[in-house]
Amino acid sequence: MKPESPAEVLGSFEEQVMLAVVRTGDGAYGMTVRRELEGVTGRSVAIGSVYITLDRLEAKALVTSERTVAGADSPSRRVFRITPAGAQALAETRSVRERMWEGVSLRSLLRHA
């Protein structure tokens, strides 16, 4: 059954980047998002791919960014936040993923691995 007007369903890396923004809260700038992704996934992530994805998400109005004021001991940073549309896209993506997993059992496949 297909919803009438679903929110955007995110790609896997888009979802991971947005979740990293949520998890890092007010300090969500490129490098902290990258560190969160690497810490949770255990994989190396290129900072360029993080920024490209954040720019694409911002163009889709799923995140916003604001430049912080540089302090005496900290540089100016572009900080990201999830928009309401972004939160809806995350919720829809999670819902679709959970529906896809319904009834799936990997037990027999994993026994042969």
Structure-model confidence comparison of residues 106 and 50, the more confident one: 50
Query: Beta strand pairing status for 63-67 and 78-82?
Result: antiparallel
Q: How confident is the model at residue 73 (pLDDT cuts 50, 70, 90)?
A: confident
Fold adopted by 12-111:
Arc Repressor Mutant, subunit A (1.10.10)
Copy the structure tokens of residue 104: 């799936």
pLDDT in tens, 10-61: 999 999 999 999 999 998 999 999 999 999 999 999 999 999 999 999 999 9
Copy the structure tokens of residue 106: 């990997």
- Helices 30-41, 47-59: axis angle to 10 degrees equals 110
Query: So where are the chain's domains?
Result: 12-111
**The pTM is what?**
0.84
Residue 109: is its pLDDT beyond 70? yes
Determine the pLDDT at residue 113: 59
